[in-house]
Amino acid sequence: MNDGSSLGSLFLLLLPLLLIGFLLWSTRRRQRAMEEFSAGLEAGERVVLTSGIYGTVLELGETTVQLEVAPGTVLTVDRRAVGVRAGDLPAAGTTPRDERDEPSGEDDEGRTGTDERGDGPERG
pLDDT for 122 equals 57
48-70 pLDDT, tens digit each: 998 999 999 999 988 899 999 99
Question: Whole-angstrom Cα distance, residue 47 to residue 53?
Answer: 8
Domain boundaries, the chain: 1-39, 42-91
SS3 category, 84 = strand
Percentage of the chain lying above the pLDDT 70 cut = 67
CATH-assigned architecture of domain 42-91: Roll (2.30)
In sequence order, which residues have a C-beta less than 8 Å from that of residue 55 and are 6 or more positions away? 46, 47, 49, 67, 68, 69, 75
pTM for this prediction: 0.53
